Structure 1
């Protein structure tokens, strides 16, 4: 029996989740969200949200939403149909609504087909030695800090740095810009929270201005000196598609370049840091992976299942429908809770046990039209890093628990001290 058929919706009180959401954003909830996910899931597969709409907690119900063609992302058209469309017009929110993650067909289809298979086997093989070389340099840096100070912050030393180097080198972005890109990415993401505060939206608006200035300048300079790189190819393609409308070409190029760059940073950094946190706590687990590197891919999947870098994503019903026994009206939003779904015991028995050999299922990369474009690249980065890290640092272990940014949508570990 599926998750949708077993629990279904069990409460109609929209206020009951408020204390759970507060706990999820608290320091305690950030450090260990599992009890909150359990309580949310116990309320039903489809749980009323206090502002309208629903949280979706069960694995099968979440999978149905992510893969179903009758569930769409909240695009501009949906926003304008809302009773208070002005709330969606803040600069940072509008900026992200133009990106692939917030486009529905046919606009999504046009951009997605133009990109092709971004990270096919040939591209990954081309990137592999570059990523491996940078992994080596970052681990040299980690070794130096461990030797000189006795401990190091894995996030600052390795976790944040590998993803920006990977995507930056792929797009031909000079490395002196990487710190600035990371900085405005961390600040811009506030606008993607469920209910951002005015101060958070102001921070995001400022970051959005910096982001637009940077990527607009990057595209202009590259167009003036086209080369044999991905961004140059995109410029050629969209300039040819809009030969009489340079503004349209520039807008599409900006949206693609900006989104693909920033989307690959925090999520991958969280995966890398989580992997170190979960895999090095238990010396026996780390030792087995070092002796059996063929199991590292399974370990990466279990990290992704256990603590997904994105905790929540939103869809709306394209038509009146029923989800988990609950009637959902057209245009109503549902918020997919990846962590609750991944820990659904009906899909993954003993879900709170971290088991590298689980061979379980997870929804961390989404599904359907909006399945994560960079999933294979993130896996490659994690595989190369973990293989070398476990070999070079056989006694590496956390020196303390991670610290987290106060968020409910995009998970971010801000610090993880490690030692040997």
Structure 2
């Protein structure tokens, strides 16, 4: 596949695609990617990527890739067919390839069955008060900082801590380990970027070794001292599945526990912060949600549509196929652009407008076999936070726009949001 081609009669200039991608990685693009998504969509639903493969920008095309059975994740089998790519041989990349989002077929089915439906209605009803109990002390801290300093960083005070405390409670990970988990998560995530540099892969490799040591020890301790937590249940499941192969059971347990614990830390934290940033942009939105809290669920969906915390995900073609009129050869990578798809005006009218009553569509949690495992939990965390925040801080407002981690193409991370009342 060439990096330059024609899509629906439009000639794609490789330099224009490179320029748009560079701008997406810039501070300007991180702060406001909407016009850049629009320019990429204008090039077509399927745009040749400069490094080979394709960028998928349209809602329907992205949905087809995410839900179609003939689209796979780039697992070990695919990576082995690309032996010269240094990125696929990196320690951190190979570690993440053992986790649920990078598994196909029976390997994916096995881990997914171990989880069952961890966030069914009954579980969510029980989790609501527990998440509220985790949120209230964080808001107490926010209130104290605002009272003392007149300003506080919402990320470092609230949104970064709620996801790790929630995951920690679910897996019974002591609070004294939470800061360390956040630290190696922020460093390890470089390996999951689209085009990580050598230095970023080196940072991820070091974090991966720390992560491996931490979660291997966690599984070992829980074996010795089982409890009522989710990890204890997974130990029973995999021990029954591999009764004569403890090494395989432990390997599966490590991969699953590590993924579940880390998967939501950056994404949910960014989603929580985005929600606060977006609903405080106008007094009308805040007033509507305070007077009509039944619309908070609608606001959560609109936040996810408007500013998804994951901007890009990758699939590979299982067979020769055609996507939005473009021939795609077997094993070719395609990169689904969630933000571009969510802002496709053919799906959501006036997509640049943040409207909590929109009742629109989004692909933020993916689709098909790899639909986000923690979607319901993420929704619940945002809902609980917004509900309590509107009650306790009716005049909360940002003092400056959020700041973002530099150079991200996959995981969008808000590093700071200063607020006042």
TM-score normalized with structure 1 length: 0.97
The match for 1:415 is: 416
The match for 2:90 is: 90
Alpha-carbon distance, 1:122 to partner: 1.9
Separation in structure 1 between the aligned mates of residue 139 and residue 399 of structure 2, nearest angstrom: 17
Report Cα offsets for 1:365-415 as digits up to 9, x if no partner: 000000000000011111111011011111100010000002110010000
Say if 1:8 and 1:235 are closer, same or farther in 2 by CA, change over 3 A.
farther
The match for 1:4 is: none
Q: What are the ranges of 5 or more consecutive residues in structure 2 without an aligned counterpart?
A: 1-6
Separation in structure 2 between the aligned mates of residue 209 and residue 151 of structure 1, nearest angstrom: 37
2:87·2:93 contact (CA, 8 Å) conserved in 1? no
The match for 2:16 is: 16
The match for 1:358 is: 358
1:319·1:330 contact (CA, 8 Å) conserved in 2? yes
Separation in structure 2 between the aligned mates of residue 210 and residue 77 of structure 1, nearest angstrom: 26
Separation in structure 2 between the aligned mates of residue 127 and residue 8 of structure 1, nearest angstrom: 48
Alpha-carbon distance, 1:11 to partner: 3.3
Alpha-carbon distance, 1:126 to partner: 2.0
Alpha-carbon distance, 1:12 to partner: 4.4
Q: How does 1:36-75 map to 2 (within 5 A)?
A: 36-75=36-75
Report Cα offsets for 1:160-204 as digits up to 9, x if no partner: 010000011010000000000000001100011111011100110
1:46·1:55 contact (CA, 8 Å) conserved in 2? yes
Alpha-carbon distance, 1:26 to partner: 0.4
The match for 2:158 is: 158
Separation in structure 1 between the aligned mates of residue 375 and residue 9 of structure 2, nearest angstrom: 32
2:334 counterpart SS class = strand
Q: How does 1:228-267 map to 2 (within 5 A)?
A: 228-267=228-267
Say if 1:83 and 1:236 are closer, same or farther in 2 by CA, change over 3 A.
closer
The match for 2:3 is: none
1:16 counterpart SS class = helix
2:208 equivalent to 1:208: yes
Report Cα offsets for 1:198-241 as digits up to 9, x if no partner: 11001100110110010000000110011121111111111121
- RMSD over aligned Cα atoms: 1.1
Separation in structure 2 between the aligned mates of residue 321 and residue 13 of structure 1, nearest angstrom: 24
Separation in structure 2 between the aligned mates of residue 247 and residue 9 of structure 1, nearest angstrom: 55
The match for 2:4 is: none
Report Cα offsets for 1:320-363 as digits up to 9, x if no partner: 00001110000000000000000000001111011111111000
Paired residues, number = 414
2:74·2:102 contact (CA, 8 Å) conserved in 1? yes
The match for 1:339 is: 339
Separation in structure 2 between the aligned mates of residue 226 and residue 106 of structure 1, nearest angstrom: 28
The match for 2:184 is: 184
The match for 1:277 is: 277
The match for 2:306 is: 306
1:313 counterpart SS class = strand
2:12·2:43 contact (CA, 8 Å) conserved in 1? no
Separation in structure 2 between the aligned mates of residue 417 and residue 77 of structure 1, nearest angstrom: 45
2:28 equivalent to 1:28: yes
